Structure 1
Amino acid sequence: MNIVSFLIRYPSAVLFPFFVFGCTNYSTTASVQAPPTLISIINNGNSNFTIKVRAQNPEFIFQGYRLYSGISEKEVQNPTDLNLGTDCVLASSAVVQPVEYTFEIDPSTKANTNGVSCRIFATLTPGTYIAMRTLGLAINLQNSSSSFKVSMPSNALIVP
């Protein structure tokens, strides 16, 4: 009897151990997200800025980006609390190739301008620094909770 006919005739013999003993071959290590690369920032006036970002987000856990601003490059790339940034949650993507995003940073709650991937509701001050991190979804199977896991920091830019 060959293996194919065995599996067709006795599928429960193969599946039974999985149902009884469960699957324990999963990783508890969080996936690492690639940080984005900030290309440019333009001051559009009235506290409105446009940022060009190049990023690659090949995994289904990709959620978006988090923007950090501060008085030094070190502060924005290594904040004391990674939750203090401002989020831009995008739709999940299956893109494997690098993508160029356009973000608007504006404290007002008006709708996105045409061609803008996401609007980040924040106030930036000229002369300060900005950096971004990629947001990934982290799911804890032991207590059924989820949160965002952030990537390493991007490069930093000075706000014009």
Structure 2
Amino acid sequence: MVAEETPRSSRAKMNIALFFPRQFSLLLVLVLALGCTNYSTTASVQAPPTLISITNNGNSNFTVKVRAQNPEFIFQGYRLYSGTTENLAQNPTDLNIGASCFLAQATVVQPIEYTFEIDESTNPNTTGVSCRIFATLTPGTYIAMRTLGLAVNLQNSTSSFKVSMSSNALIVP
């Protein structure tokens, strides 16, 4: 003979069944929040892009082809630097003085080819252009690019851009 459960005993079992997962979840969160000391305060390193070519389109308008890989969710875009020498383009005195291009968040893991248009005007992008960089380039100078990543400081709730190492340099035609 099998004893039938009373409604009260099945409710008690249900309450116990709901109680333990909630308590376990709370305990797990507390252990992870308070007991986890293996975290990094070092910012992620972004891979620099590779400049493939630069073409003069006339009227101070240039097209730059770039090959890059952006697997990080902190990826924001690119910054263009120019200088009278290859070294000055790749190593500017201030990393904040370049012209930036912010791209939509990408979850791309494989390298892709971007086409950037460099122009001093505020015209919209032409077809096939990934981003327009508002800058003036002078023929005979050098250009280089760096990847922009978002760096967040959790201790004081601030954020800034972290730039990658420099790309190769190209001479402006």
- Structure 1: 5+ residue runs without aligned partners? 1-6
| Match for residue 100 of structure 2 among 87, 110, 133 | 87
Deviations 1:47-97 (A, max 9, x none): 000000000000100000000001000001111111010000001111000
Q: CA deviation at 1:24?
A: 3.8
Question: Runs ≥4 in structure 1, deviation > 6 angstroms?
Answer: none
Q: Which residue of 2 aligns with 1:123?
A: 136
CA distance 1:12–1:67, change in 2 (3 Å)? closer
Q: Does 1:32 align with 2:28?
A: no
Q: Aligned letter for 2:93?
A: T
Cα distance in 2 for partners of 1:122, 1:67 equals 9
Number of residue equivalences: 155
Structure 1 length normalisation: TM-score?
0.90
Distance of aligned partners of 1:48 and 1:16 in 2 relative to their CA distance in 1, 3 Å threshold: closer
2:127 counterpart (103, 114, 125) = 114
Calculate the TM-score normalised by the size of structure 2. Answer: 0.83
Structure whose CA Rg is larger: 2
Task: Report the Cα distance in structure 2 between the residues aligned to 1:84 and 1:53, rounded to whole angstroms.
Answer: 20
Summarize the Cα distance change of 1:157–1:23 in structure 2 as closer, same or farther, 3 Å threshold. Answer: same
RMSD: 2.0
Give the SS at the match of 2:55. Answer: strand
| SS in structure 2 at match of 1:67 | strand
Q: Distance in 2 between matches of 1:49 and 1:59?
A: 28
Question: Residue by residue, what CA displacement relative to the aligned partner does 1:95-140 show, whole Å, maximum 9, x if unpaired?
Answer: 0000100000000001000100000000000000000000000001
**Higher share in helix:** 2
Could you tell me which residue of structure 1 aligns to residue 67 of structure 2?
Answer: 54
Percent identity, aligned pairs only, is 78
Give yes or no for the alignment of 1:70 onto 2:83: yes
Change (3 A) 1:9 1:56: closer
